[in-house]
C-alpha cells in the first residue's frame, strides 16, 4: 500500500520561532492535505493543495505541493502556544474517482515553549 | 452548523467482549467514513459509505468488525469480539459529494477504546 513518511516525528521550539515539516510518498498523489489534531479531538483541515507546485497560505501557515507530486511541506511562521498539537499530512491518490480515500502520515508532534 | 457527533467518547472493555460506536454525520453529507487511529499513528480508513452503500471496506477486518448505515444518515461500527490490538481511537468523518474534486472530510471527536 501507499506509504507516507512524515518528518520530523516531533519538534520542541520556542514561541516566535518558525517551523517546517514535510511529507514524502512512495507514489503520486492528486491532492495533498495538512491537518492538525488537538488532544481528544478529531483532525481539522488546515490547508488543501490540488496542483503540483501549488503554494497556499492560511494565516501563518504555508504549504506547498511538490512538483514531483510525491512530497509536500508545511511551514508555520512566528509560532504561538496554541500551535501545539499533532500535524498530519494526508494524500489522495491520482485516480480517486468517487472514492476519496486518504492516506495519512504518522504525524509531527509540535510543542511550543512560551 | 452542528459537527460530526460520536458516542460514547470513551469505552473500556475486556478482550473478547463486544462494543459498538455510533456516529451522526453533518446534515446533508452523503459520505461517511470510519477511521482507526492507533496511538502514535495517523488515522487509517476502515470503511467508507456513500449514502447507505459501501464504497470501500478493503481495510476493515471483517472477521470481527462490521459497520452499517441503514438509512444513509447515522452509522454504527461494531467490534465482536474485541482484541487487545483494537485499542485505539475510532474516528468518524463525513463529507459532501462533488465529483472531480476533493471533498473536505470533517471529523468527529472520536471514541477512545481501551481493551484490557
Mean pLDDT along residues B18-41: 95
Q: Are A104 and B42 in contact (CB under 8 A)?
A: yes
Whether the per-residue pLDDT at B103 is higher than 90: the answer is: no
Q: What is the mean pLDDT of chain B?
A: 93
B41 Cβ under 8 Å from any chain A Cβ: yes
All cell numbers assigned to B105: 472530510
B83 Cβ under 8 Å from any chain A Cβ: no
Mean pLDDT along residues B32-53: 94
Q: What is the mean pLDDT of chain A?
A: 91
Task: Measure CA B97 to chain center.
Answer: 18
The C-alpha of A100 sits at a distance from chain B's nearest C-alpha, in angstroms, of 7
CB–CB contact A41 B4 (8 Å): no
DSSP, res A25: E
Whether the per-residue pLDDT at B98 is higher than 80: the answer is: no
All cell numbers assigned to B41: 499513528
* pLDDT, tens digit (0-9, with 9 covering 90-100), for A49-84: 988 889 999 999 999 999 888 999 999 999 999 999
Taking the CB of residue A112, how many other CB atoms lie within 10 A of it? 20
Name the residue facing B56 among A40, A44, A101 (closest C-beta).
A101
Mean pLDDT along residues B43-60: 93
Residue A3's pLDDT band, with cuts at 50, 70 and 90, is confident
A40 Cβ under 8 Å from any chain B Cβ: yes
Query: Rounded distance, CA A89 to CA B44, Å?
Result: 13
Query: Rounded distance, CA B108 to CA A86, Å?
Result: 16
All cell numbers assigned to B62: 471483517
Mean pLDDT along residues B56-64: 94
Amino acid at each position: 500500500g501507499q506509504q507516507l513518511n512524515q518528518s520530523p516525528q516531533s519538534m520542541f521550539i520556542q514561541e516566535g520561532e518558525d517551523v517546517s515539516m514535510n511529507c514524502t510518498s512512495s507514489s503520486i498523489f492528486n491532492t495533498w492535505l495538512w491537518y492538525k489534531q488537538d488532544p481528544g479531538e478529531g483532525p481539522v483541515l488546515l490547508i488543501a493543495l490540488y496542483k503540483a507546485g501549488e503554494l497556499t497560505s492560511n494565516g501563518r501557515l504555508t504549504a506547498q505541493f511538490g512538483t514531483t507530486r510525491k512530497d509536500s511541506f508545511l511551514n508555520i511562521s512566528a509560532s504561538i502556544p496554541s500551535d501545539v498539537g499533532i500535524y498530519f499530512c494526508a494524500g489522495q491518490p491520482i485516480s480517486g474517482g468517487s472514492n476519496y480515500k486518504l492516506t495519512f502520515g504518522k504525524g509531527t508532534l509540535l510543542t511550543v515553549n512560551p | 452548523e452542528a459537527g460530526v457527533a460520536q458516542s460514547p467518547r470513551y469505552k473500556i472493555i475486556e478482550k473478547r467482549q463486544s462494543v459498538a460506536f455510533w456516529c451522526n454525520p453533518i446534515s446533508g453529507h452523503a459520505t461517511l467514513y470510519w477511521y482507526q487511529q492507533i496511538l502514535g499513528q495517523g488515522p487509517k480508513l476502515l470503511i467508507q459509505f456513500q449514502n447507505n452503500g459501501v464504497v470501500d471496506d478493503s481495510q476493515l477486518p471483517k472477521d470481527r468488525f462490521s459497520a452499517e448505515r441503514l438509512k444513509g444518515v447515522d452509522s454504527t461500527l461494531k467490534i465482536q469480539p474485541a482484541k487487545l490490538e483494537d485499542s485505539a481511537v475510532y474516528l468518524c468523518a463525513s463529507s459532501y459529494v462533488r465529483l472531480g474534486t476533493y471533498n473536505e472530510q470533517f471529523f468527529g471527536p472520536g471514541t477512545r477504546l481501551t481493551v484490557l
